[in-house]
A and B are shown apart, each in its own frame.
Chain A
Amino acid sequence: MKKIILWALLILIPFVAAENLCAQGMLGRPQGYSRDGKGLYTAAGFLSIRHILDGDRPYLITGEIIYSEAGYGMSAGFEIYGRIGFGKKVISGPLGPADYLISSTDLRGDDRILTAAGLRWSHPINPSLRVGLSLQGSYYLNDGTDEVLGVRKDFKRTLYEMKIKREWSIEGGMGIQIDLPKGLKAYAGPYVNYGEGKITSQPPIYGLKEKIKSHHLIGAYGGFTLPLVKRFALTSEGWYTDTFSWSCMITYTY
């Protein structure tokens, strides 16, 4: 019974405490994914991002990214990992609606390359419960570029070439993990993050604030890992605020 209550609390806390997040990929379960805490694992995953960054006003960021991850479990509960992903990211809001604009005012960046590296550490409290810390840094290797079309002097033309540059973020989470029957592992916890980016326009747009940064710094995350066939396992993780980000990945443990 105690376990059920604890589990219910773990599920609920993140959804109650959460604020806007700027996650750039899952933190993963505290225990890590390498076999017995040591050795190599690889993963392939999908990330659906939805968060808010502040510029001259709040911008909604959405994106879908597929990624590959590899990690290595070291001694004393530590695990390091690296991730590379490709996908699109859309920033809504840098330009307000105007009569002379005929294309979407969203800044849409295709073929963005996301890189991330992180560290996990966990400590068992008892055989089915453990606490852990995760720290992760993310960076987009390339700029997102988009053109805004409009009508000027009765001609359709590109009015602005906009870019989102140097996007990075750093995230840290503290999670509690509980082992459930059938090999299922669930985890949740509070989460902090800070992210930045820079929006530019050519020609410059009056009033456009170049630097954008995280709207809120504190939130929460939660997820579960389900063993599949052989040494494969599915992990799904979500972050809920007034928007919802979600990621899943299939890991293979060597």
Chain B
Amino acid sequence: MRKSVHTLIFILTAWTLSVGILAPAYGSSEMPSPEKDIKVNETVDEYGDEEPITIYDPLEPFNRVMFEFNDKLYFWVVKPVAQGYGEVMPEPVRAGVNRFFHNLSFPVRFINCLLQANFKGALTELGRFSINTIWGIGGILDPAGNEDINLTPYEEDFGRTLASYGIGHGFFIMWPIFGPSSLRDTFGSLGDHFLQPVSYIRPWYTETAIKGYDKINDASLRIGDYESLKEAAIDAYVAVRNAYIQHREKRGGRTGFIAPPTKQKRESDK
């Protein structure tokens, strides 16, 4: 089953890669039309004082279908489950679970810092992991992030490592279930998968259940974010696409661990 999932991911990736590479070749020999093959220059900079962030989207029809699928999956399954879970599980516990899984994914951040020759980041991550594992009860608490120690995480992954080698996003892909990504980040996610300790838990359904629980727990802390984005947008798909790219760029800018907003914060924002 696990092999077949990997094979499926590989085939889909290879297919999107081939589509991405070959798409312009099906048109004329001239540069592709922005309206057809490549949706370009969807900027996310509101003030125009930064270089615009762009993303190609040759798979937009496919992506829009997948977006609708994910949208329904969220509203029909993920949100009700996350809300129910949030009702029975206090927020401090859910935040602790969130921190635990974040601490567990230390190898992803550590190795990618090293791959980017970011030794300060690697040392910081090592320090954070050690302190939080030993004095943070396995990462449930975050003493390393307290103001007096103040070790801010470096949210590096393989996608960012590829970016640091000068590889661009390629084009935008909306994966079913997994959500928004790009060609580069899809390959990056495969690399990250092998650095996640949870990926080595057997049997496969235990691994899937643990990852699913992590996602539901995470979703329970972010209910309302997607709804707000969708409400504010004329085209929700475009808004999600832009938000994804902006989010990735911000992570690349080492803005630190994007902690889930607290209930009070969400209420004050309203």
Contacts and interface: CB of A to CB of B under 8 A. Distances in A.
A234 interface: no
A231 B134 CA distance: 14
B141 A42 contact: yes
Interface residues of A, number: 11
By secondary structure, the A interface counts as strand
Interface of A: 40, 42-44, 68, 70, 230-231, 250, 252, 254
Contacts of A70: 137
B132 to A, nearest CB: 10
B204 interface: no
A116 to B, nearest CB: 15
Interface residues of B, number: 10
B135 to A, nearest CB: 4
Contacts of A254: 141, 143, 146
A68 B138 CA distance: 10
A219 to B, nearest CB: 30
Nearest to B148: A230
B137 A252 contact: no
Interface string B134-157: 111100010100101100000000
Interface of B: 131, 134-137, 141, 143, 146, 148-149
A126 to B, nearest CB: 30
Contacts of B141: 40, 42, 254
Given A231-B146, A252-B131, 6 more contacts: A68-B134, A70-B137, A250-B135, A252-B135, A254-B141, A254-B146
Contacts of A230: 148-149
B157 to A, nearest CB: 29
B136 A231 contact: no
A68 B149 contact: no
A231 B141 CA distance: 15
A231 B131 CA distance: 12
B148 A43 contact: no
Contacts of A68: 134, 137
B75 to A, nearest CB: 38
Nearest to A44: B134
A44 B148 contact: no
